[in-house]
Chains A and B, each alone.
Chain A
Amino acid sequence: MAVITYREALNAALREEMERDPDVFLMGEEVAEYDGAYKVSKGLLARFGPVRVVDAPISELGFAGLCVGASMAGLRPVVEFMTFNFAFLAIDQVINSAAKMLYMSDGQFPMPIVFRGPTGAALQLSAQHSVACETYYLHSPGVKVVTPATPADAKGLLKASIRDNDPVAFMEGELLYNFKGEVPDDDDFVIPLGVADLKREGSDVSIITHGKMVHVAMQAAAKLEKSGIQADVLDLRTLRPLDVDAILASVRKTNRAVYVEEGWSYVGVGAQIVATIQEEAFDDLDAPVLRVTQADAPMPYAKNLEMLAKPSADRVVEACRKVLYR
């Protein structure tokens, strides 16, 4: 097992899948000659050439739509959005074309395609570069949504996403790219979609989360431990398909749950998780399920306000104490 960064793990996954299947190609802004805005595609142009690692003009709708058409015609595109915040321009092609094509054609056109890039906030990028975009993609049947938090998950899940036969929105984090972790060297290290990962085991409260908030949840769990509270930290890893069994198992063990997400609360990911828990584990609950989310306002620029807006370990601790009534 090598210790590599999240960015290197994604790079390895892309390289391995492109070697494995000549129909896989990468297209996006700055992915080729510039080696990637966040260097995820470093070295891929040199290795695979300009037909398979393609610099697109700044036309998110255009090149996303192009890749959807290429998928219809039999290729397996990987679309890189510099951030999912820019993909709002392209979402018509994701939701109206990619997600519905198989259904509208009654099975004639499977749509293997991965849309990937960072979601959510980094540091002081303010309102238009900080949106956690998961909900927009989760709402529509026909799109799978994957949110890896660690280098190993990034590699194993990107490989699974590229091999999947449906559109996948693969959401990374700008602040995760430098994060290091152990990753198996195996070329065939694939993590199947739909399997959550218990990142920490505890019996008092379930902190359920996804993506970069896994790290906030881990910090919160460490703080709680100091007061003798043991938290489960369940990283969903993929939001559709959703590992409902893992959620229910954790909640049935602890009888208390908190959902942590980077996005807004209103009709957010947590709203779906809470609905699922109350529908299927109502009698196991000893307290209402609480959510820790971004403040219900656009992301401000000022450092102090940004800190206030984002979910923090302290706010997670506070929510856990509330559901524990202590």
Chain B
Amino acid sequence: MGRTRTRTKGVGTTDAFERSGVSVELALDLLRDMLLYRRFEEKAEEAYAIGKIGGFCHLHIGQEGVAAGSIKPLRPADYVISAYRDHTQALAKGVAPGAVMAELYGRVGGTSGGKGGSMHMFDHEARFMGGHGIVGAQVPLATGIAWKIKYREEDNVVVCFMGDAAVNQGAFHEALNIAAIWDLPAVYVVENNQYGMGTAFHRVSLTDMVEKASPYGIPASVVNGQDVLATYAHFRELVEEVRDGGGPRFVDVQTYRFRGHSMSDPVSGTYRPKDEVERKSQEEDPIGLLRNHLFEGGWLDQAGLEAMDEEARRIADEAAEFADSAPAPGPEALYANVWAEINRHGRLNFDGRGESPWR
């Protein structure tokens, strides 16, 4: 337990901008990023409502500060992996908005050619390692990516996002123990929006989130994800500690979801009161908080904000136009990439439809 330490950053502070040591340019960049994520998710919401997007669609509205603040300090060669609420993390890691939106639409030009959907964004080049749909299953995968970094003696890190409910999965505990004993370069990030779908965290855990990694001797910290400057400053420091061989880290990023668990779920109701959502949206909007800081310091005015927002809307609109005009995958895509290697001998498919090119 000697290595365990718990730190708290940014929670409840009002002077985070000053304290974080983030430059004005960077702060404006972070605002720009978050505005894009907000407008992008709103566009997805709109497209879902008119049936352009189907399936399960989990939005990041309210949680934009998490992706913006934690991914910004990474290098292009660092890895990011996530669960099924993955749109804005993909954008933050450099995946093109058009490709993310086209994937949501199930079209050619999507990150997975329309075969993954909302929960399965992948970009090999951007080192965005998915969108994974089984709660907690991405945590061992992240540990394996960190293992590869160590195996090849690289100086990259992997950042692994998960929701708060994932810490009750066995996969989480097994993977963190292994990362700790082998000193792997991974940052495990709980995007803690306080509810696993409709179940409040306190109903499924007697201990606090930040304690979840302590049995494994992994240093843990808490940061206010609605305060993007604090989040950025925290991850900037943490990622370099890990890159320098400091071993894994665990971060409880406290945030709040302004929408339902997915597009098919209610925003509030039996599991959280409407006024809680309203209060959080008004008082703890990561975009509003940073905007206020910038206004107060005189670094941004209303016209500047509007120009930024217009740009964000334009990018989101263009992504939707690109997605809408892209064709649906052809029937030949149904069997494409089931196998990386069609063996020369024998039969791989058994439904009588997907014959291999060898026969």
Residue contact A103 to B337, C-beta cutoff 8 Å: yes
Asked if B338 contacts A141 (CB within 8 A), the reply is: yes
> Would you call A166 and B341 a contact (CB within 8 A)?
yes
Q: Which residue of B lies closest to A141 (CB)?
A: B338
Within 8 A of B (CB), among A72-124: 72-75, 92-93, 96-97, 101-112
- Complex: how many Å from CA A267 to CA B145? 36
- Report B64 CB to chain A, min CB distance, Å: 25
- Would you call B141 and A68 a contact (CB within 8 A)? yes
In contact, A71 and B144 (Cβ under 8 angstroms) = yes
Contacts of B49 in A (CB 8 A): none
A61-B170 contact, Cβ under 8 Å, with A66-B147, A67-B144, A192-B344: yes
Q: Is B94 an interface residue (CB 8 A)?
A: no
- Is there an interface contact between A106 and B336, defined as CB atoms closer than 8 Å? yes
Q: Are A96 and B148 also in contact (CB < 8 A) when A65-B175, A103-B337 are?
A: no
Asked if B343 and A104 sit within 8 Å, CB to CB, the answer is no
- Which A50-72 residues have a C-beta within 8 angstroms of B? 51, 56-57, 59, 61-72
In this assembly, does B137 line the interface, its C-beta being within 8 Å of a C-beta of chain A? yes
0/1 interface trace, chain B 121-156, chain A, CB 8 Å (1 if under): 011100001111110010111111111110100000
CA distance A4 to B116 in the complex (A): 47
Q: Is A25 an interface residue (CB 8 A)?
A: yes
A238 to B177, CA, bound (A): 36
A65–B142 alpha-carbon span in the complex (Å): 9
Contacts of B124 in A (CB 8 A): 105, 108-109
Q: How far is the CB of B335 from chain A (nearest CB, A)?
A: 9
Which of A8-16, A240-248, A291-299 makes up part of the contact surface? A240-248
Would you call B87 an interface residue if the criterion is a C-beta within 8 Å of the partner chain's C-beta atoms? no
Q: In the complex, A230→B122 CA distance in Å?
A: 55
When the two chains form their complex, are residues A241 and B338 in contact, meaning their CB atoms are under 8 A apart?
no
- Indicate if B348 sits at the interface (CB-CB under 8 A): yes
The distance from the CB of A224 to the nearest CB of chain B, in whole angstroms, is 28
Q: How far is the CA of A161 from the CA of B309 in the complex (A)?
A: 53
The residue from B114, B129, B137 contacting A93, defined by CB atoms under 8 A apart: B137
Q: What residues on A are CB-neighbors of B143 within 8 Å? A: 62, 65-66, 69
A61 to B170 CA separation, bound complex (whole angstroms): 8
Chain B residue numbers with a CB within 8 Å of A270 are: none
Task: Please determine whether A72 and B145 come into contact, CB atoms closer than 8 angstroms.
Answer: yes
Q: Taking the nearest CB of chain B, how far is it from the CB of A111, in angstroms?
A: 7
The answer to the question of B8 belonging to the interface, with a C-beta cut-off of 8 Å to chain A, is no
Of the listed residues B122, B124, B147, B336, the one surrounded by the most CB atoms of chain A closer than 10 A to its CB is B147
Q: Which single member of A56, A64, A109 contacts B122 (CB below 8 Å)?
A: A109
CB-CB nearest in chain B for A77: B144
Interface residues on B, range: 35 or more
Docked-complex contact A69 and B147, CB < 8 angstroms? yes
Residues of A within 8 A of B6 (CB): none
B116, B142, B178, B339: the one within 8 Å of A63 (CB): B178
Residues of B within 8 A of A97 (CB): 132, 134, 137, 141
Asked if B60 is an interface residue, CB under 8 A from chain A, the answer is no
| Size bracket of the A interface | 35 or more
Per-residue 0/1 for A279-315: is the Cβ within 8 Å of any B Cβ (1 yes, 0 no)? 1000000000000000000000000000000000000
B349: Cβ under 8 A from any A Cβ: yes
Residues of A contacting B146 in the complex (Cβ-Cβ under 8 angstroms): 69
B283 CB-CB contact with A under 8 Å: no
Out of A61, A67, A74, A194, name the residue touching B171 (CB < 8 Å): A61
From A65, A141, A193, A272, give the contact of B343 (CB < 8 A).
A193
A61: which of B140, B349, B352 is its contact (CB, 8 Å)? B140
Residue of A nearest to B350 (CB): A272
A37 at the interface (CB under 8 A from B): no
Interface-central residue, A57, A111, A193, A241, by most chain B CB under 10 Å = A241
Q: Mark B175-197, 1 if CB is under 8 A from A, else 0.
A: 10110010000000000000000
- Nearest-CB distance from B181 to chain A (Å)? 7
Interface residues of B in 174-233 (CB under 8 A from A): 174-175, 177-178, 181
Give the CA-CA distance A106 to B137 in the complex, in Å: 20
Query: In the bound complex, do residue B350 and residue A62 qualify as a contact, i.e. CB atoms below 8 Å apart?
Result: no
Give the distance to chain A from B102, nearest Cβ to Cβ, in Å: 12
Asked if B151 contacts A70 (CB within 8 A), the reply is yes
Contact of A106 among B115, B343, B347 (CB under 8 A): B115
Residues of A within 8 A of B175 (CB): 62, 65-66
A105 touching B341 by the CB < 8 A rule? no
Complex Cα distance, B339 from A101, in Å, reads: 10
Q: Which of A135-191 contact B (CB under 8 A)?
A: 141-142, 144, 164-166
B144 touches A243 (CB 8 A): no
Complex-state Cα separation, A104 to B128, whole angstroms: 13
The answer to whether B346 and A193 have CB atoms under 8 Å apart is yes
Please report the C-alpha to C-alpha distance between residue A141 and residue B351 in the assembled complex, in whole angstroms: 11
CA distance A70 to B341 in the complex (A): 19
Q: Which one of B120, B129, B345 lies within 8 Å of A72 (CB-CB)?
A: B129
A222 within 8 A of B: no
Bound: A96/B345 CA distance, A: 26
CB within 8 Å for A93 and B177 given contacts A102-B339, A104-B116, A105-B122: no
A–B pairs, 11, beta carbons within 8 Å:
A62-B140, A62-B174, A64-B140, A65-B141, A102-B337, A105-B112, A106-B116, A110-B340, A164-B343, A193-B345, A241-B348
Closest 9 CB pairs of A and B: A69-B144, A194-B346, A65-B140, A62-B174, A241-B346, A194-B345, A69-B141, A105-B122, A106-B113
